[in-house]
């Protein structure tokens, strides 16, 4: 197909011929007989956005799950109402997601039995690491005797029994392509080969259009109560001896310190990643730069949960949360992502969060960490395997493009999903679906 009258991000006017790859980018190109032509009318054409850390299956199931955390649900009464009204799915489950302890404390099976005893209820904590099941749900997964119904997602003994294969991948695909997203990296740590194959089959069949990458099996989640430098070092060394990079999930200061030490001891791989780096002190910046590791972070949590951080995190540590600009100044490789469905899966909202760092109540969290709109946008344009290396609209690149209905200056001023006019994957228009 031919995209006419495009404006590239640097302001260059161009026509673009695109198939499986970008074939030609030139001042003026003429349509071949029968070739599809899309008139960008001066709008910006970008490489398709890539969300570098998402959970595809969980995001698809969140589409038909009940949200039981802020901002939708903030109090125990609201939680009671939401659960009482929830209609179970065809398989008999009530699935609730996004729970946070600020709503009604540390829930257990007894609390859930009091709120909704008649059907199987499972509540996922918004961290994604914890589930709470009521008694009916525990019976269904063969754990009727479980003490409190609080189950860690990392415990494969039961989590396989909660896996869904019936999620709405087509619905998720449609919402992603409407945002200009042409690729995602799935960061689910316990995704097995079967789960990966199922997603790839859905992609091949056209049910899930964005290109798919996977961090598993090189992804590791750490827990503060059992941080072990030696075993982490050994795990990293084994992956590297197999030519595999690692992606280590670091949400606390302690996790980042141990991971840096382990990477030092084991030696780095050029494609190693640290996921989140939600808390990073000043000393860690130079270390991360020196290791050459890529930080894949989510400042969208400032926009989504910032008011909670202002309450929960000591003021002296606010500057260490979800850093971006200071990482870049220290020459750390950085890319953005949304962590959908634990974060809102809108990269444009994440870019605005990186630029403004405004919490829901309007406070600014970490003003020193604000980046320019161009930087924020570019951090969603990275290569799947090298998130901090931006792609460009040039011949030879994959035929994945995001066409906006406004010129670059307006696009950068607004950073809004409503600007997406069309999304192209492999030379095919996948949004709008006409
Ligand atoms: Zn994640």
Q: What is the pLDDT of residues 186-227, one digit of tens each?
A: 998 878 888 899 999 999 999 999 999 999 777 777 887 788
Nearest to 239 by CA among 256, 217, 213: 217
Instruction: Kindly give the distance from the C-alpha atom of residue 223 to the centroid of ligand 1, in angstroms, as a whole number.
Output: 14
Give 434's pLDDT tier (boundaries 50, 70, 90).
low
pLDDT single digits (tens) 48-106? 999 999 999 989 988 878 999 988 899 999 999 999 999 888 788 899 999 999 999 99
Ligand 1 mean position, distance from CA 55 (Å): 6
Handedness of CA 123, 124, 126, 130 (dihedral sign): positive
Residue 396 CA neighbour count, 13 Å, CB half? 1
Residue 126 alpha carbon to ligand 1 centre in Å: 10
Q: 132 C-alpha to center of ligand 1: Å? A: 19
Mean pLDDT, to the nearest integer, of 108-134?
A: 93
Q: What is the pLDDT at residue 313?
A: 93
Quote the CA–CA distance of 230 and 432 in Å, as a whole number: 51
- Report pLDDT for 165: 60
Confidence of residue 184 (pLDDT cuts 50, 70, 90): very high
Ligand 1 mean position, distance from CA 75 (Å):
26
Average pLDDT of span 395-408: 97
Ligand 1 geometric centre to CA of 344 (Å): 12
CA of 341 relative to ligand 1 center, distance in Å: 8
Q: How far is the CA of 401 from the centre of ligand 1 (A)?
A: 25
Range in 24-33, 150-159, 375-384 the model is least confident about: 150-159
Residue with token string 């395997």: 385
Residue 206: CA atoms inside 13 Å, Cβ hemisphere, count?
A: 5
Expressed in angstroms and rounded, the spacing between residue 15 Cα and the centre of ligand 1 is 38
In the predicted model, what is the mean pLDDT of the chain? 93
Low-confidence winner among 4-13, 90-99, 291-300, 356-365 (lowest mean pLDDT): 90-99
Q: Which of 164-168, 336-340, 414-418 bottoms out in mean pLDDT, i.e. has the lowest?
A: 164-168
Average pLDDT over residues 114-121: 94
Which pLDDT score, from 0 to 100, does residue 227 have?
Answer: 87
Torsion sign over Cα 148, 149, 152, 156: positive
- d(CA 187, ligand 1 centre) in Å: 6
pLDDT band, very low/low/confident/very high, at 340 (cuts 50, 70, 90): very high
* 3-state DSSP of the chain: CEEEEEECCCCCEEEEEECCEEEEEECCCCCCCCCCEEECCCCEEEECEEEEEECHHHHHHHCCCEECCCCCCCCHHHHHHHHHHCCCCCCCEEEEEEECHHHHCCCCHHHHHHHCCCCEEEEEECCCCEEEECHHHHHHCCCCCCCCCEEECCCHHHHHHHCCCCCCHHHHHHHHHCCCEEEEEECCCCCCHHHHHHHHHHHHCCCCCCEEEECCCCEEECCHHHCCHHHHHHHHHHHHHCCCCCEEEECCHHHHHHHHHHHHHHCCCCCCEEEECCECCHHHHHHHHHHCCEEEECCHHHHHHHHHHHHHCCHHHHHHECCCHHHHHCCCEEEECCCCCCCCCCHHHHHHHHHHCECCCCCECCHHHCCCHHHHHHCCCECCCCCCCECCCCCCCECCEEEECCCHHHHHHHCCHHHEEEEEECCEEEECCC
Q: How far, in Å, from the CA of 129 to the mean position of ligand 1?
A: 10
pLDDT tens-digit readout, 140-183: 888 999 999 999 877 767 766 666 666 789 999 999 999 999 99
For the chain, percent of residues with pLDDT exceeding 70: 97
């Amino acid at each position: 197909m031919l995209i006419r009258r495009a404006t590239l991000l640097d302001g260059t006017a161009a026509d673009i011929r695109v198939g499986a790859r970008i074939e030609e980018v030139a001042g003026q190109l003429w349509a071949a007989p029968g070739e599809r032509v899309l008139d960008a009318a001066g709008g910006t054409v970008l490489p398709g956005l890539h969300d570098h850390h998402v959970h595809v299956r969980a995001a698809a199931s969140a589409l038909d799950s009940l949200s039981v955390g802020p901002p939708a649900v903030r109090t125990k009464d609201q939680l009671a109402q939401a659960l009482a009204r929830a209609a179970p799915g065809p398989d008999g489950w009530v699935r609730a997601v996004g729970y946070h302890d600020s709503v009604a404390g540390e829930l257990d099976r007894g609390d859930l039995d009091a709120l909704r005893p008649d059907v199987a209820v499972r509540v996922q904590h918004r961290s994604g690491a914890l589930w709470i099941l009521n008694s009916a749900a525990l019976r269904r997964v063969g754990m009727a005797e479980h003490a409190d119904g609080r189950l860690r997602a990392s415990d494969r003994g039961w989590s396989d029994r909660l896996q869904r294969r019936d999620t709405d991948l087509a619905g998720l695909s449609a919402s992603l392509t409407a945002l200009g997203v042409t690729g995602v990296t799935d960061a689910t740590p316990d995704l097995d080969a079967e789960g990966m194959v199922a997603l790839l089959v859905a992609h091949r069949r056209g049910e899930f259009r964005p290109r798919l990458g996977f961090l598993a099996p090189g992804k590791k989640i750490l827990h503060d109560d059992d941080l072990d430098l030696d075993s982490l070092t050994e795990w990293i060394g084994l992956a590297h001896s197999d030519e595999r990079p690692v992606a280590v999930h670091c949400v606390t200061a302690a996790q980042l310190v141990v991971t840096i030490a382990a990477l030092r001891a084991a030696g780095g791989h050029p494609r190693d990643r640290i996921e989140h780096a939600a808390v990073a002190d000043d000393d860690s910046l130079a270390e991360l730069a020196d290791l050459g590791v890529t930080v894949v972070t989510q400042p969208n949590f400032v926009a989504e949960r910032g008011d909670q951080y202002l309450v929960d995190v000591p003021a002296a540590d606010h500057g260490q949360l979800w850093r971006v600009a200071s990482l870049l100044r220290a020459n750390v490789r950085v890319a953005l992502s949304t962590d959908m469905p634990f974060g809102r899966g809108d990269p444009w909202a994440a870019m605005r969060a990186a630029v403004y760092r405004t919490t829901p109540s309007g406070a600014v969290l970490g003003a020193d960490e604000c980046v320019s709109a161009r930087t924020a946008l570019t951090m969603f344009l990275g290569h799947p395997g090298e998130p901090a290396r931006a792609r460009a609209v040039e011949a030879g690149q994959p035929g994945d493009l995001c066409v906006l209905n406004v010129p670059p200056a307006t696009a950068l001023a607004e950073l809004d999903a409503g600007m997406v006019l069309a999304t192209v994957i492999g030379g095919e228009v996948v949004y709008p679906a006409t």
